Amino acid sequence: MTASKLEQLRAMTTVVADTGDIEAVRRLKPVDCTTNPTLILKAVETPAYAGLVDEAIAWGKRQGGAGAVEAVCDRLAVTFGTELTKIVPGRVSTEVDADLSFDTKATIEKARAIIAAYQERGVGRERILIKIASTWEGIQAARVLQAEGIDCNLTLLFALPQAVACADAKAFLISPFVGRILDWHVKAGGGPYTAETDPGVVSVRSIYSYYKAHGIDTVVMGASFRNTGEIEALAGCDRLTIGPGLLDELQAATGELPRKLSPETVGKAPERLVLDEKAFRFALNEDAMATEKLAEGIRGFVKDLRGLRKLVAAKLEQAKAA
């Protein structure tokens, strides 16, 4: 009997679950798990996790003060992350607030606080990835954090210049977005695309080839998928972070899944790029898709972060009135 496509994928790629849904992680058994404000907001609004939310609210009520809402949001992220570390054998990514995406110093301080909060719960830094937007400021924060032994996941990555800067900062992992790149090109009138010509797939393949050809250790983890065709076209990538719906589709699918990416088969890479801040910003500015999707992604995460804070503020007020 032929193994499912998910089982075949697991034989060549580390599969990561892109969800804050603890029950989905238990069911799908990924190696790693990654979350963001959008996923945490959805999880907080789910009745199944009311106990975790109530604990954080009760803690926040005892803390009091002007920063209680932000503190509770941080606690929720670490609470969900801690639960996920009990299920997955590998890493859990926890995101620095997206409204700090252009503040290197604040990003470093928040990352250190997240790691300290995990350590208080008995979760070592080797189990956590600090998730940071791939802005120039975010990448420089990662440079400092990596030197301190705090591994980082650079997210909202849409173009090779971002990947090059992340590698120079010795980031542990990058998350190039596939589906959002496709979205931009379709909206711009491109296509129709096959899995092989999908602009998001092409982008991740080029980054993977650049890294492997130049002996770069930073892990490439494709993210933000729209369909299983994109995932299959990146089979063999270091890691792929996939939502529960697409993981279920892969589990139900049979047929041979050929390996598409391998360190041994990468072609000749372009000359290694050297990017200082000015060169990075100019290269990113030259790429309309990457510029627009990075800004849009940060706005989206900030919107959901504000939604989470609003929900927490309401629950804190209810707790005080009780």
List active site positions. Answer: 131
> DSSP assignment of 160-225, as one string?
HHHHHHHHHTT-SEEEEBSHHHHHHHHHTT-----TTT-HHHHHHHHHHHHHHHTT--PEEEEB--
Pairing type for strands 14-18 and 32-34 reads parallel
Backbone dihedral angles phi then psi of residue 177, each to the nearest 5 degrees: -90, 125
CA 73 to chain centre: 18
Report the alpha-carbon distance of residue 207 to residue 273 in Å, rounded: 12
- Residue 215 gets the label, from left (phi > 0), alpha (psi -120 to 50) or beta, of left
Question: CA 135 → CA 146, 161, 177, 222, 295, distances in Å?
Answer: 16, 11, 14, 18, 9
Beta strands of 216-260 (E only): which ranges?
Answer: 219-222, 239-242
DSSP state of 220: E
Task: Identify the sign of the CA torsion 71, 77, 83, 85.
Answer: negative
Report the alpha-carbon distance of residue 160 to residue 220 in Å, rounded: 12
- Residue 199 gets the label, from left (phi > 0), alpha (psi -120 to 50) or beta, of alpha
Report the alpha-carbon distance of residue 301 to residue 236 in Å, rounded: 29
- What 3-state class would DSSP assign to 65? coil
